[in-house]
Structure 1
Amino acid sequence: MNTKKKKFHYAWLLLIGLSIMVALGKNGISTAGGLYLIPVTQDLGIGMGSLTLYFSIASIVTMIFLPIAGKLMAKYDIRLILVVSIILMAGSFAMFGLMSSVWGWYLFSIPLAIGSIFVTQMAGPVLINNWFKKHNGLAMGLMVAIGGVFGAIIQPTVGNLIATQGWRFTYIASGITVAVIIIPIVLVILRMSPKQKGLQPLGMDDVKSSEDTLGQQDVAQGVSAAVAKKSSAFFALLGFFFIITSIASFSQHLAPFAIGAGYDIKFAGTALGAMQIGVLVGALSFGVLSDKIGARNTAIFAMLLGLVPVGIFLTVPDNQTLFIVAVVIFGFIVSSLGTLGPLLTTALFGNKDYSQIYSTAAIGLAVAGIVALPGYGYIFEFTGSYTFVLYALVIMLLLNALLVFLAFKGKKKLEKAGAWN
């Protein structure tokens, strides 16, 4: 029992490794994809809507594969799953650098999406829930915040590489670098549960419980997946996931938006790097706020805060200083996807069937990618601006605040019905 009394718990080391993996996967591959849109469309003569359709294909694959992903994570060694996933994800991204037809993006978006499910979506929330009994919100916030630190470095670097070395070289170099760094981290540090290291979850010794099994408290408290999926709270959460992903998806179009406002590709990279500073601060803030005032109040606050950057984009996009300020604040909202989504799931339904509920609700993320990412591209292609998109973002931010409120009303119904146990 003395292992759980150590000042330093292995969970923190795992969190560092996990955060680096997610950070490189997201910022080196997923969110960096927006920087390539203008150079690729101009070089190959592809329409913006046609190219961004690969995001839609990736989202369809994600939607289909998400329920399977939860089962695979429960059945197989997490290290094997993640190594294969990183090879699929990073390898596909590198292959984009060799393509000369839009069909190449369509084809390789399939393995890229499958790998991304595990690396950037599922591994973080699931492992943190397994390893952190206390400070769950802080851990989730730190993971996203570390991603912000990496993003603040990676995004400007990618922008500069595209400007100086070309998009083909940058695709290939980014994919190879991400794989080479992440695979050793996965093999050496990551483990599915504390049992594999002979430990209890962090903070388990502080939980006043008579249960004598690892994670029993986590498993026992909450709503079953079968009941949760039929509840109004679940459908509100599904809607929240769809809308917050649609909002955050605009980050993929920030580079084309910046260029359309009169800036160059280097400034666009700098702006995306600044956005990652917002992700860093937002993730830490939202994680701590969730622990202090609850996931509901934090989520509503985040949605209302999102009105500020959208207002700046609509009114003074040509002011460089205010543009950077807006991008930083928008990073707050992007961070809420990685922090508030998982935290809201736990707050609404507990940990009883967390992975099943979260993976099903996360289908909302995939559906949003199917609709929003190419939708924004086609709006830009047909109208020559993102003005209509920005007005849509205002509506979605307000609607999402309402959905959070409705979700917690649904939770009260579950509690009254005795479904929470």
Structure 2
Amino acid sequence: MNNKKIFYGWWVVAASVLIMALLHPLITTCWGLYVKPVTKDMGFSRSAFGICSTIISGVTVFLSPYLGKWLAKKNTQLIHAICVVGLAASYASFSLGQNITHFYISAFFMGAFSCGAIALPVSIIITNWFAKKRGLAISIALAGSGFGGAIISPIMANIIENYGWRASYLVFAGAMLIICLPMIILMKKSPETMGFMAYGADEVAATAQKTIVPKTELNMTLEEVKKHSFFWIYLFGMFCLCFVGFGSLSQLAAFLADVHGAAFAAGILSLFLIIVTLGKISLGWVYDKFGTRIGTGYSCIVFALAMACLLFPEYKPLMYVMALLYGVGICTGTVCPPVITAAMFGSKHYGEIYGYVNRSVYLGAALSVPAIAIVYDKTGSYQAAWILCIALIIISLLALLYSDIKCRSLTTDKINIQKPNGQATHKII
């Protein structure tokens, strides 16, 4: 690696930032801007339109394991490009919708193509490029969704107001093609394809040779890790964490507006979006600096404190504190899954394993949004929902720490078995 030049992996990260900045907000953060104008114009209920989000998440749950495997083993750039084109086409098709069935069909295809267009290929490719500072690189890439949402939101609102929601779907579908397809050209699958080594691979190897118990990756196949109970506990932990993240975010604006009005809710959300960008980058640094256990503990504790603040919404100053904590805590849903998965299971079979993890992430998303809404409908309050979220964060933390300990123990056993001449090594329990 030539130290006088910027390591190419950072260009991959830069391209990933732009992809995340555009694609992710269009189907998550900014999607809510369509609810009022679409339902008012088309005459169907908001809950009926909300099923589109459930369909998108549901399709992603089903396809993630397959696309993760294909992206890792096939022509990654070609699959990525096909998915972006498909996502743009399905996004544009919403502009042609004449009834709710048309919207559901568009949502089905949007879910299918979004799975292979956004976070999954980004995390797989960056994991290949970075052995060192992997957490930071992934978190920087994923942080694009934060500032992207802050930029796209007012633009989309303006287009919808002046030209209509149908025009907005077409404009942003075109933006997907114009901005993202050139970025995919920069997204080389791995450093080996360009004659490079992964960033810091030489330092990691040198450090491993000097330690009594060298740091190594588990690098088991998906079929192998599925035989261990800690893997399923890990998936459950991720499900709980993402259930809280997606579910609480879907209702946060309505919750704040009910208590303090729409203007206050909008201000808190703007502050939150700014903190999200910084929160993702800082969380990646924490993981790189202190490891997965401390990083996971830190993020879960901050998230739980944010949810605890929501139990006292009448105190306006506390809601600003909540926005700061929530901006960091909500990053668990995007940063934790790829970073922890890479740290625990290694890079060799990362694609197929992360595809399975991504299924748990979006299963949490698909179930949480209606679940939190049902709690409100049944009780007339979000209090019970926020208490449930706090409990699930604690359960998630325990599950993730347990699976990490068991995974490290298995990795150490693997080192002991492979140690030549029967030389004894220290075993981590």
TM value normalised by structure 2? 0.85
Structure 1: distance between partners of 2:86 and 2:61: 17
Q: Secondary structure at the match of 1:306?
A: helix
CA separation of 1:395/1:97 partners in 2, compared to 1, >3 Å: closer, same or farther? farther
Residue 294 of structure 1 and its aligned partner are, at CA, apart by 0.9
Structure 2: distance between partners of 1:254 and 1:417: 45
The residue type equivalent to 2:347 in the other structure is N
Q: Residue in 2 aligned with 1:35?
A: 33
Q: Secondary structure at the match of 2:116?
A: helix
CA separation of 1:221/1:400 partners in 2, compared to 1, >3 Å: closer, same or farther? closer
1:257-268 correspondence runs (5 A): 257-261=255-259, 263-264=261-262
Residue 38 of structure 1 and its aligned partner are, at CA, apart by 4.2
Q: Secondary structure at the match of 1:208?
A: helix
Structure 2: distance between partners of 1:364 and 1:330: 21
1:241–1:341 CA contact under 8 A, matched in 2: yes
Q: Aligned residues, how many?
A: 411
2:279 corresponds to which of 282, 285, 298: 282
Instruction: Give the structure with higher Rg (CA).
Output: 2
Q: Residue in 2 aligned with 1:311?
A: 308
Structure 2: distance between partners of 1:114 and 1:180: 21
Deviates more, 1:342-351 or 1:168-177: 168-177
CA separation of 1:308/1:324 partners in 2, compared to 1, >3 Å: closer, same or farther? same
Deviates more, 1:160-169 or 1:132-141: 160-169
CA separation of 1:343/1:316 partners in 2, compared to 1, >3 Å: closer, same or farther? same
Structure 1: distance between partners of 2:285 and 2:57: 30
Structure 2: distance between partners of 1:380 and 1:105: 26
Identity of aligned residues (%): 25
Q: Residue in 1 aligned with 2:333?
A: 337
CA separation of 1:219/1:129 partners in 2, compared to 1, >3 Å: closer, same or farther? farther
Deviates more, 1:148-157 or 1:54-63: 148-157
2:323 corresponds to which of 320, 327, 341: 327
Is 1:190–2:187 an aligned residue pair? yes
Residue 69 of structure 1 and its aligned partner are, at CA, apart by 0.4
1:125 corresponds to which of 123, 126, 135: 123
Is 1:137–2:171 an aligned residue pair? no
2:48 corresponds to which of 36, 47, 50: 50
**Deviations, residues 220-244 of structure 1 (Å, cap 9, x unaligned):** 7533332311223211220122112
Residue 158 of structure 1 and its aligned partner are, at CA, apart by 3.3
Q: Residue in 2 aligned with 1:360?
A: 356
CA separation of 1:162/1:304 partners in 2, compared to 1, >3 Å: closer, same or farther? farther
Deviates more, 1:292-301 or 1:310-319: 310-319
Residue 92 of structure 1 and its aligned partner are, at CA, apart by 2.1
Residue 156 of structure 1 and its aligned partner are, at CA, apart by 4.0
Is 1:10–2:5 an aligned residue pair? no
1:34–1:254 CA contact under 8 A, matched in 2: no
CA separation of 1:419/1:367 partners in 2, compared to 1, >3 Å: closer, same or farther? farther
The residue type equivalent to 2:389 in the other structure is L
1:62–1:117 CA contact under 8 A, matched in 2: yes
Q: Residue in 1 aligned with 2:219?
A: 222
Is 1:200–2:221 an aligned residue pair? no
Structure 2: distance between partners of 1:350 and 1:46: 47
Q: Residue in 1 aligned with 2:237?
A: 240
2:65–2:354 CA contact under 8 A, matched in 1: no
Is 1:392–2:388 an aligned residue pair? yes
Q: Residue in 2 aligned with 1:293?
A: 290
Q: Residue in 2 aligned with 1:21?
A: 19
The residue type equivalent to 1:367 in the other structure is L
Q: Which runs of 5 or more residues in structure 1 are unaligned?
A: 212-216
**Deviations, residues 104-126 of structure 1 (Å, cap 9, x unaligned):** 33211111112211222311211
Q: Residue in 2 aligned with 1:370?
A: 366
